[in-house]
Amino acid sequence: MSDATNITFTIETFPNPAPLRPYTIMHVNSEFTSVCPITGLPDFGTITVKYVPDQTCIELKALKYYFLDFRNKGIFYEAVTNKILDDLVAVCNPLEMDVVAEWSVRGGIHSVIHASHKREK
Amino acid sequence: MSDATNITFTIETFPNPAPLRPYTIMHVNSEFTSVCPITGLPDFGTITVKYVPDQTCIELKALKYYFLDFRNKGIFYEAVTNKILDDLVAVCNPLEMDVVAEWSVRGGIHSVIHASHKREK
Amino acid sequence: MSDATNITFTIETFPNPAPLRPYTIMHVNSEFTSVCPITGLPDFGTITVKYVPDQTCIELKALKYYFLDFRNKGIFYEAVTNKILDDLVAVCNPLEMDVVAEWSVRGGIHSVIHASHKREK
Amino acid sequence: MSDATNITFTIETFPNPAPLRPYTIMHVNSEFTSVCPITGLPDFGTITVKYVPDQTCIELKALKYYFLDFRNKGIFYEAVTNKILDDLVAVCNPLEMDVVAEWSVRGGIHSVIHASHKREK
Amino acid sequence: MSDATNITFTIETFPNPAPLRPYTIMHVNSEFTSVCPITGLPDFGTITVKYVPDQTCIELKALKYYFLDFRNKGIFYEAVTNKILDDLVAVCNPLEMDVVAEWSVRGGIHSVIHASHKREK
Amino acid sequence: MSDATNITFTIETFPNPAPLRPYTIMHVNSEFTSVCPITGLPDFGTITVKYVPDQTCIELKALKYYFLDFRNKGIFYEAVTNKILDDLVAVCNPLEMDVVAEWSVRGGIHSVIHASHKREK
Amino acid sequence: MSDATNITFTIETFPNPAPLRPYTIMHVNSEFTSVCPITGLPDFGTITVKYVPDQTCIELKALKYYFLDFRNKGIFYEAVTNKILDDLVAVCNPLEMDVVAEWSVRGGIHSVIHASHKREK
Amino acid sequence: MSDATNITFTIETFPNPAPLRPYTIMHVNSEFTSVCPITGLPDFGTITVKYVPDQTCIELKALKYYFLDFRNKGIFYEAVTNKILDDLVAVCNPLEMDVVAEWSVRGGIHSVIHASHKREK
Amino acid sequence: MSDATNITFTIETFPNPAPLRPYTIMHVNSEFTSVCPITGLPDFGTITVKYVPDQTCIELKALKYYFLDFRNKGIFYEAVTNKILDDLVAVCNPLEMDVVAEWSVRGGIHSVIHASHKREK
Amino acid sequence: MSDATNITFTIETFPNPAPLRPYTIMHVNSEFTSVCPITGLPDFGTITVKYVPDQTCIELKALKYYFLDFRNKGIFYEAVTNKILDDLVAVCNPLEMDVVAEWSVRGGIHSVIHASHKREK
C-alpha cells in the first residue's frame, strides 16, 4: 500500500466570479473511501469542504478526482482530514476553510474530525 | 445556449406594510432549475431568499417568474447565487438579504452556496 | 371579502402566576387559515407566538378564537404576521414577543415571515 | 410549445446479462420536469420505472437523455405517464413494466399516476 | 351554517388519454377543511382520492374547487368521506375509487375514514 | 385501586350515515393511560380502534370519555386490549373490529397487543 | 379536585460526585400528565429538567415519584412549570436550572413553557 | 466463557385472559446484548417476540430477566435466534410464534435473523 | 481494469444450527463499492442478501471479504447483482435466496436491482 | 459487583499528526453499557467524547476496549460521565474535552449528563 502523503495532484481552479463579496461555498462528498493503514480494510466517510474564496474557486469535477485518489491509499482519520485541508488551502488560498470528515461506524464507534484554517490578515 | 448574465427582468414590488419594524421575510423555492454551461445538462436546486425589507417588498408571483427565467440558461453554481443576490438587492434595496442555493447531487457531491448583503449605514 | 384590518376582537387574559421571574411561553397553531386577497383562495399556515409575559398572560382558548377570526378574511402574508404581533402586544404588553408565520407551498415556493417586539425600558 | 406526442427518440439498449432468470430492475429519476400545457408553467416530478427484462435492458444514460427530452414539452400528468410506459415497452419488450409518476404539490394537491404493462403469454 | 348535503357543484372532466389500459390516478389534498356541525369549530384533514378511470378523468383544478366548497359547511367525518366518494363516482363513473380522509387530532384522538367503490361488472 | 373489570359505562352512538357500503373508521388515541395492577405505576399507550360499522357508529367524544375511565384503574396489557374490544363490539355490533394497544417502553421492552373481532355470518 | 399548590413532597438527593467541576444533568420525562383545572380533562406533556448541580444531585427515582404526584391534580400550564422549578431549586439549590414543559396539542395548539433559575453570586 | 446452550432458566407465565379469541402479543427488547464466541466482543441487538397465545402468556418481567441471562454468554446470531424461539415455545406452547433478531452493524454489515414456529393441528 | 467475472473466491461456511426449521437470514452491506466499466468511476451501493439456509450458512466475515473483492473491478449494475446471487447460491445451496442492490444517485437517477433464486423441489 | 472506581486501564495513544493546528476529534460510542449499582440491572447509553488534542491523540481501538471495561461494573450516571472525562484527560492532556452520556429510557425518564474540561493556560 502506498503512502498517502505521496499523492501528487493538480486541482483545476477558476476565478471567483464575485471577488468583492465574502461568501461561502460548501461541497459535501458522501462517497469518500480510503483504506485503514493497519488492517488494510476500507474506510467510508463523508467529507465536507466549506470555504470563503478569495480570488480563486475550486473546480467541482477536479475536486471529485482529487477525492478519488485516496481510494486505495492507506491513511488515518486524523491525518486525512488535515491533509485535505492543507492541500486545498494550498490550491486556492481562501479567506477561510473548514474540512469535516464523518466516518461510518467501526466497532460500534462513529468518528468525526473537524479542522479549520483562517488566513492571517 | 444564451448567456445568463443577459437575463432582462422586472420584478414587481409592493410597499412594506410595516416599515417601522425590522422583520424577516423568507421565500424558499424548491423547484429551481438551470443548465450547466459546460455539459448542457440541467441542474436542480433549492433557492432560499431571506431579507429584512426597508420600504419595499418583493411580490411572490413576480419572484416565481424571475426564477423561471433561469430554466434554460447556462450558468455556474457560484455565479447564479451571486446574480440572484445582486438582482434582488437592486429591486428592493433591503436592510439585509441572504441567498442560499442548495444543489442536488452531481457525481456524489452536494453543493451549497451562501451569499449575504448588508446595507451600509 | 371583508378587510382584515377591521377585525374587532377581545382576547381574554389572566394574571401571570410568576411575575417576578422572566420566562417564555410559546403557542404553536398549526391550523391557521386565511384567504389570499387577490385570488380569493385559502392560505394555510402555522403561527407561532412566543413571548415573555410581564403582568398578563394570554388565555389559550381566547387565542384560538382570535386565530379563527381570520378564516374568511383576505390578508397578505406580511400583513397578517405584523397584525397578529400588534394585536397581541396590545392585549398583554409583554417584555418580548415573536410571531412566526410559516405558509404552505404556493407555486413551488414556501414562505416564512418573522416579526419581533421588545419593550423599551 | 411543441406537442409532446411528437417527441422522437432512440433509447440505447444492451443484452440482458441474465436472460434465464426473471429479475427486477428499477430506475428512479427524481429530477423529471415537463411543462403544463395549459399554464405553460413547469411541472416537477419523480418518475420510477420498474421492469422485468426479457432479452433486452435499457441503458441508463440513454434513459436519462430520454427523460431530458420532456423538459420543455407541454404534456398532462396522465398522458406523460402512459407515454413513458408505451415508449419504454416498445424499446425493450419486457415481461412486465410499471411506471409511477409522483408530482410536486400544485394548489395544495399532490398527484401520483401509476400505469402497468404485463406481456401476454 | 348551511347543510353540506346541499352543496351543488359541477366538476369538469376530460377524456381518459389511455382508456384501454387500467391504471391508477391519486390526488392528495392536504389542505382540506370543513366545520364541525356541533361545535361550529373548523376541522382540518387530508383527503386522498385514488381511482381507476374508465372513459373520464377528473380535472385537477375543478377538484380543488370542489374541495373548497366544504370550507364553511358543517358536516361529520363519516358523512363527508362518503359524500365525496358518492359525488366523484357520479362525476366520472370509474372502474374503482377509494376516498381516505385523515383528520388532525381532536381531544387527543386522530381519526381516519376509508370508503371504497368498485363498479359492478 | 378498583378493579377495571367493574368499569360501568355508556358510549353514545349515532346511526351509520352510509349503511349500504362497507367502509372503515379508525380512531387513534395517543393519550391512553392506565395503572399497572402490580406496581401501581402508570402505563402509557396508544390505542387504535378500527372497525367496519353496520347500523351504528361510535360517537367520538363518548369514545374519549370511555378511554378516560381507565386513567386510575389497575389492569394488565393483555386484559385491557381484550376488554376494550369486548366493550366496543357490544356497543355498536360492527361487521369487523380491530383494537391495537401500543405501550411505551418499560425496562427496555416495548409491547404491542392486537385483538380482532369478525361478525359471524 | 385538590389544589396543586398543596402538593407536599420530599425528593431524595445524593451528594454531587464531582462538586469541583460545573457540569450539566438533564432528565426528560415524556410521560407527564396532570389535569386541566377548568375542564377536568387530562393534559399530557414532556417535562425536561436541566441543571448544574452544586453540592447536591436529585435522585432519579425520587424525581419520578415527584412527577407522579401531579397525575390527578388540577393545575395550569404556566403554573406547573414555575412550580416544578421552584420545588426542585428548593430541593437541591443548583447553580442553574431550566424547566421546559411541552404540551400535546389541544384545539390545534401546541404549547411550550420554559422557565430558568440562576443562582445569584 | 460459558456455553450459551447451558443457560438454565424458568420464565414465569400467567393464564391467557382471553383464551377463546386468537390475538397477538408482541414484545420488543431493544437492549439485548450477548457476546461473540470467536472474538469475545459484545454484540448488541433488538429482539422481537410476537406470538398468538393458547392457554398461557409470558410474564413481561420474567421475559426481561430471561434476556439478561445472555449478557455475558458467547453465542452466534443464528443460534441465539433459534434458541430463544425454542425456549419460549417450550414455556408457553403458543399457537404461533415469531422471533426476529436485528443486530447492530459489524464491519459495515447489519444482520437480521427471523425464525417462526406454528403449532401443528 | 480486470474482468469481474474472473474473481476467484472461497467463502467459508458453517453448518446450519437449526436445519429442521426453515428460517431467514439477512445480511445488509451498506458499504459496497465497485467500478463502472465504461467511465472507470466508482459506484457505491447497498447489497442485501436474504436467504433460507438448508444445511449450510455463510460465515459473516467471509462474506465481507467476498464483497471487498469487487472494490476495484469493473462490472455493470445488472451483472453484479446476478453474479452475487450465482456465487452465493453455489456456496451454500439455500432453499431460497434474494439479492437486492441499491445504488447511489448517478445523473439524478437512483437504481435498484432485485434477483431471486428458489430451489426446485 | 466490583467498584467501578477501581477500573485499572491503559489507553494507547499516538502523536498528534497536526500539533500546530487546533482541531476537533469526536468519537461516538452508541453501544456503551454498564450496571446500575442499586438494582444490578444493565444501563445502556451513547457516550460522545469530543476533544481538541495537544501533542497526543487517543487510539480508537484502545478507546473501544476502555469502554468495554464498564460492561459489568456498577456505577451511577453522574459518576461514570465524570470518571470517563477524568480518565481521558489524564491519558492525553487535551486543550479541551467534552464527554456527553445519553442514557436510554428508565421509568419513562431519559437522562443526559454533559461534563467539560478546559486546560488552564
What confidence tens digit (pLDDT) does each residue in A36-57 have?
A: 998 999 999 999 999 999 999 9
Residue H9: what pLDDT? 62
Q: Judge whether residue D1 has pLDDT over 50.
A: no
What was the pLDDT predicted at A9? 61
Q: Using 70 as the pLDDT threshold, list the residues of chain J that sit under it.
A: 1-9
Q: What is the pLDDT of residue H1?
A: 33
C and J adjacent (3 or more CB pairs under 8 angstroms): no
Contact E23 D109 (CB under 8 A): no
Q: Catalytic site residue A57? A: no
The pLDDT value recorded for residue J10 is 79
Of B85, B80, B88, the C-alpha closest to B11 is: B88
The confidence score (pLDDT) of residue J8 equals 57
Which residues of chain I are within 8 Å of residue H89 when distances are taken between CB atoms? none
Rounded Cα–Cα distance for residues A41 and D94 (Å): 40
**Helix spans in J1-121 (H):** 60-68, 77-92
Q: What is the ipTM of this complex?
A: 0.89
Examine the pLDDT at B4 and tell me if it is beyond 80.
no
Average pLDDT over residues I77-86: 95
Which chains does chain F touch, 3 or more C-beta pairs < 8 A? E, G, H, J
Q: Which is nearest to B60 in space by CA: A116, D52, I29, C103?
A: C103
Return the higher-pLDDT residue of H4 and G59. Answer: G59
HEC-encoded secondary structure of chain A: CCEHHHCCCCCCEEECCCCCCCEEEEEEEEEEEEECCCCCCEEEEEEEEEEECCCEEECHHHHHHHHHCCCCCECCHHHHHHHHHHHHHHHHCCCEEEEEEEECCECCEEEEEEEEEECCC
Say if residue B94's pLDDT is above 70: yes
Tell me what the mean pLDDT of segment A23-31 comes to: 97
Question: Partners of J114 in the beta sheet?
Answer: G24, J100
Chain A residues with beta carbon closer than 8 angstroms to that of H109: none
For the ranges A21-35, D48-62, I4-18, which has the lowest average pLDDT? I4-18
Instruction: Enter the DSSP assignment of E21.
Output: S
Q: What digits encode the pLDDT tens for the residues C34-91? A: 999 989 999 999 999 999 999 999 999 999 999 999 999 999 999 999 999 999 999 9
Half-sphere exposure of residue H73, counting CA atoms within 13 Å on the CB side?
18
Residue D10 has what pLDDT? 79
At H107 the pLDDT is 85
Closest to F89 measured CA to CA, from F36, F60, F39, F52: F52
Mean pLDDT of chain F: 91
| Confidence band of B82 (pLDDT split at 50, 70, 90) | very high
- Residue F120 vs residue H83, higher pLDDT: H83
Residues with Cβ within 8 Å of residue I101, at least 6 apart in sequence: I32, I45, I46, I47, I48, I77, I80, I81, I84, I112, I113, I114
C-alpha cell at G116: 430558568
User: Which residue has better confidence, D2 or I11?
Assistant: I11
Nearest CA to F64 among E108, G1, E37? E108
The secondary structure of E59-113 as a DSSP string is -HHHHHHHHHTTTT-B--HHHHHHHHHHHHHHHH--SEEEEEEEE--BTTEEEEE
Q: Cell triple for residue B66?
A: 424571475
Residues from H in contact with I at Cβ < 8 Å: 76-79, 81-82, 85, 105-117
Residues in E lying within 8 Å of G, measured between beta carbons:
41, 44, 104-105, 107-108
Which CATH code for domain E15-118?
A: 3.30.1130.10
Q: Which residues of H touch A (CB under 8 A)?
A: 41, 44, 104-105, 107-108
Residue H91 banded pLDDT, cuts 50, 70, 90: very high
Tens-place pLDDT, residues G66-79 = 999 999 999 999 99
pLDDT at H8: 57
Interface test mutation site (partner E, options C32, C44, C61, max chain E beta carbons within 10 A): C44
Question: In this predicted structure, what is the pLDDT of residue H30?
Answer: 96
Among C25-39, D2-16, H99-113, I92-106, where is mean pLDDT lowest? D2-16
Chain A residues near any Cβ of chain J (below 8 Å)? 76-79, 81-82, 105-117
Q: Which residues in chain C are closer than 8 Å to B60, comparing Cβ atoms?
A: 77, 106-107, 109, 111
Residues of E in contact with G44 (CB under 8 A): 108
At A111, the pLDDT band (50, 70, 90 cuts) reads very high
Which of A33, A36, A103, A106 to probe by mutation at the H interface, max H CB count within 10 Å?
A106
- Cα H54 from chain centroid (whole Å): 18
Q: Indicate if the pLDDT at residue C17 is higher than 80.
A: yes
In this structure, are residues J27 and J49 in contact, taking their beta carbons and an 8 Å threshold? yes
**Closest CB to D30 among I85, I108, I114:** I108
Q: Do I104 and B108 touch (CB under 8 A)?
A: yes
Whether residue C15 contacts residue G100, with contact meaning beta carbons closer than 8 Å, is answered with no
The residue from E36, E54, E87, E98 that is catalytic is E36
What does the domain layout of chain I look like in residue ranges? 15-118
Confidence of residue A107 (pLDDT cuts 50, 70, 90): confident
Q: What's the CA gap between A15 and A18, in Å, rounded? A: 9
As a whole number, mean pLDDT of residues B104-111 equals 93
The mean per-residue pLDDT over the stretch F43-63 comes to 96
For the entire predicted model, the pTM comes to 0.92
pLDDT in tens, G7-56: 456 799 999 999 999 999 999 999 999 999 989 999 999 999 999 999 99
Average pLDDT over residues B85-89: 97
pLDDT band at B75 (very low <50, low <70, confident <90, very high): very high
D72: alpha, beta or left? (left if phi > 0; alpha if psi -120 to 50): alpha
Contacts of D77 (CB under 8 A, 6+ apart): D43, D101, D103, D111, D113, E60
The question of whether I36 is a catalytic residue gets the answer: yes
pLDDT over 80 at H2, yes or no: no
The pLDDT, as a whole number, for residue D74 is 95
Model pLDDT, residue I40: 93
The answer to whether the CB atoms of C41 and D107 lie below 8 A apart is yes
Residues C111, C77: contact at Cβ < 8 Å? Answer: yes
Task: Please answer whether residues J70 and J44 qualify as being in contact, where contact means their C-beta atoms are separated by less than 8 angstroms.
Answer: no
- The predicted pLDDT at position C1 comes to 32
Contact residues, chain D, for B104 at CB < 8 Å: 30-31
Query: What DSSP string describes C13-62?
Result: EEE-S-TTS-EEEEEEEEEEEEE-TTT--EEEEEEEEEEE-SSEEE-HHH
What confidence score (pLDDT) does residue E2 get? 36
